[in-house]
Structure 1
Amino acid sequence: MKRRAQAIWNGTVKEGNGHLTTQSTVLNQTQYSFNSRFADGIGTNPEELLAAAHAGCFTMKLSLDLTEAGFVPEELKTDSTITLDNGKITLSALKLTAKVPGISDEEFQRIAKHAEETCPVSGAFSFDITLEAVLEA
């Protein structure tokens, strides 16, 4: 499987701007700029897209792993926070809250950690990943 996205940029890094389009067109000429990356400007940015990719991939992998272990997740909610520090991405912090009937916290933590370690996006990252997993009653 291959997926594609395109970035177009016009101008200098601070005054210029660009847009991103994905193969599926979910992002279709979606704006990004210096302000959307380093301030509160309108549009997306690479770190936000990495966070979305990591949260989505991990959550799907966890659903798979739980299902294979015989559990049906009622709800899995994952936030990913990507840290950009001194021009380098240093961390993806995953925070998971889950409703999974019939599972012990110990087994849930084991399966969640395995999903974090084996989701394809985690494997693509060379920076640190943390996981905080909370099983709700």
Structure 2
Amino acid sequence: MYKKILVAVDGSHCSDLALEQAVGLASTCDAELQVVHVIDNGYLKYDMGYVDLTELRSGLIKGGQDLLAEAQEKASARHVRCRTVMVDEILALGDISHQILQLVESGGAELIVLGTHGRHGVRRLLLGSVAENLVRQCPVPVLLVRAPDES
């Protein structure tokens, strides 16, 4: 069915659930899994005064590398072909959905798997929604994996 599945990870509980689903689908379909982590450089939009951002950026990059290594291990444990990609595009200024869309268009993914918090109303408006943007703009199917309510 699918030969190339892209899953985005960010370290959240719902992204962990999406990774589990993506690994399971890739295993069932004998598909290649592309695990993506996009560094959120949205903080650069705000004036942070005279703060040295070197440590913050280093931490974001190290955290992304750790997430991707963990995802690679989970895929390997299920004998799923997996490749990892970290996107660190400073000029994107936190537009994560656009970065993922570019990967879909250039990499030939046939399905995207994403975790979602399922926020709605004002909380969604204030926080934005990568999942919603991808569902609206993506040329391939998007599977949303919602975390159970944690309230």
- What's the TM-score once normalised by structure 2's chain length? 0.29
**Relative contact order: is structure 1 or structure 2 higher (C-alpha 8 Å, sep ≥ 6)?**
2
Q: Which has the higher strand share?
A: 1
- What's the TM-score once normalised by structure 1's chain length? 0.31
Q: Which has the higher helix share?
A: 2
Which has the larger Rg?
1
